[in-house]
Structures are given as C-alpha cells and as structure tokens.
Amino acid sequence: MGNEQLDNLPLTTNDEQAASIATAEESFDIEVNERDKKKKTKLFIIGGVILVLIATFGIVFNYNQREKEYGQKLDLISNEMIFSAALAEKMCNSYQKVWHDTIWNKMDMSKMASDIGVPESELKNKTGEYFLYTSDFNESLKILYKYYDKNGNVDLLKNTKETVYKDIKSLDAPPEKYKQSYNAIMDLYSDYDQYINLAINPTGSLQSYSNETRDLNTKISKKYKEFGLRFPDNKKQ
C-alpha cells in the first residue's frame, strides 16, 4: 500500500478513543446496575415470601398450640369433676343410710361406723362423739357431717368445686374442634354442681334427698359418657 493510501485512512484521535472507552464503560455500568436492581428486586421478593411463610407458620403454630392446650384443659376439668363426683356419691350414700337407719332402728356410734365403713374408733376420734343413741336423724347427720369435715372430704369437695368453676369460666371461645365437647361439659357442669352441693349440705326429706341424688348421679354418668363420645378421637371413652 502506498503512502497516499495510508494518508487517506481515517485517523482516530485520542479524544475519540477516550470517548469510545467512556461510552463502553458507561454502557457496562448501566448493564451492571440493571442486573443489581433485578437481583435486589428478586431478593426482596424472596425475602417477602419467606416473611409471609414465617408469619403464616407462626399463626398456624399458635392456633394449634392453643387448640392443644384447650383440649388438655377440657380433659383436666372432666377428670376433676368425675373424681369429686365419685367422692360425693360415697358421701351421699352414707348420709342416706345413716338417715334411714336412724329413723327405723335408732343410731349409735358403732352402727354409724358400720354404715359408713370406717372403724368406730376413727369415727369417735374425728367427731369427738363417744356416746350416741338416738332416733333423731338431724343429730346423726350432724355427727356424720362433722366426721367428713374433720377427715377433709368437705374441704376437698369445696375446693375442687371452686377450681372446676374457675376453669369452666375460662373455657371461652372454644376452637372448632372442641365446640361439641365444650357444649357437653357445660351441660354436665350444672348437674355436677347440684350434686356436690347435696354432698356438702344434705337437705330435704330422706325420700326427696334419695331421689334427687340418684337422679343427678344417673345424669352425671350419662353426660360424662356423652362428653367422652364428643371428645376428639374419643379419647375420653
């Protein structure tokens, strides 16, 4: 190639080269920034999804935990009720037997001890009564109440009854899973409360007391079974 041809080639100045490099770098920076923005946006979305999942898990966990605790409380209350009702049944039966035998056969300490199934010495020591021979059932019932008061049965029934009452009041807004169980135990509670009261404080005539305690005992037994059937997974059967 001759000198003339070389002279005719377009020349690139230093300024033009610098400008070209700057343009290329600027273009590269724009691409990098765009990639960074997209990356940050993607990370932001992923982070948001993770937060939503964590929040959802927390809500579900809290609900499941509350549901579990609610079921445990229902189970505890039903156990407290049936335990104290069994003790009340024993006391009610003893009141009826002593009441009946006092009216028809007269009552002394030996016979009362036999009627309630305890040693005579224990009955005398607990009540402070050593001599008794009466046909007055009120006197016999007072001595028997004194025995149950001294041996702790009366306080046990009163305290358990109060605990059940407080626990029942706390059973608000039952989870869907336990709504039927809640309704069943509330129905059971009204009969339970009356039954415990009759064991603590026998009232009425022998006939009315016997009928009422028998009816309540039957209702409690039936409703406790119904509660078990409505309890999830039938765990109370």
* Assigned token pair, 26: 């600027």
Q: pTM of the prediction?
A: 0.73
Evaluate whether 124 touches 109 at the Cβ level (below 8 Å).
Answer: yes
Q: Give the DSSP per-residue string, 86-126.
A: HHHHHHHHHHHHHHHHHHHH-B-HHHHHHHHTS-HHHHHHH
Distance CA 59, CA 63 (A): 6
Region of 107 (left: φ > 0; alpha: ψ -120 to 50; beta: rest) is beta
pLDDT for 55 equals 46
Q: Which of 211, 177, 180, 224 is nearest to 77 (CA)?
A: 224
Contacts of 186 (CB under 8 A, 6+ apart): 168, 171
CA gap 162, 183 in Å, rounded: 20
Q: Enumerate the domain spans of the chain.
A: 71-234
DSSP string computed for the chain? --HHHHHHSPPPPHHHHHHHHHHHHHHHHHHHHHHHHHHHHHHHHHHHHHHHHHHHHHHHHHHHHHHHHHHHHHHHHHHHHHHHHHHHHHHHHHHHHHHHHHHHH-B-HHHHHHHHTS-HHHHHHHH------BS-HHHHHHHHHHHHHHTTHHHHHHHHHHHHHHHHHT--S--GGGHHHHHHHHHHHHHHHHHHHHHHS--S-HHHHHHHHHHHHHHHHHHHHHHHHHSGGGTT-
Q: Going residue by residue through the chain, which has 237 residues, state the pLDDT in tens, using 9 for 90 and above.
A: 544 554 554 545 555 555 555 555 555 555 556 666 666 666 556 655 555 544 444 444 354 778 889 999 999 999 999 999 999 999 999 999 999 999 998 899 999 999 999 999 999 999 998 888 899 999 999 999 999 999 999 999 999 999 999 999 998 889 999 999 999 999 999 999 999 999 999 999 999 999 999 999 999 999 999 999 988 865 554
**Predicted local distance difference test score (pLDDT) of residue 34:** 64
- Residue 204 CB contacts under 8 Å (≥ 6 apart), including other chains: 212
d(CA 170, CA 164): 10
Does residue 217 contact residue 162 with C-beta atoms inside 8 Å? Answer: no
Q: What pLDDT does residue 67 have? A: 86
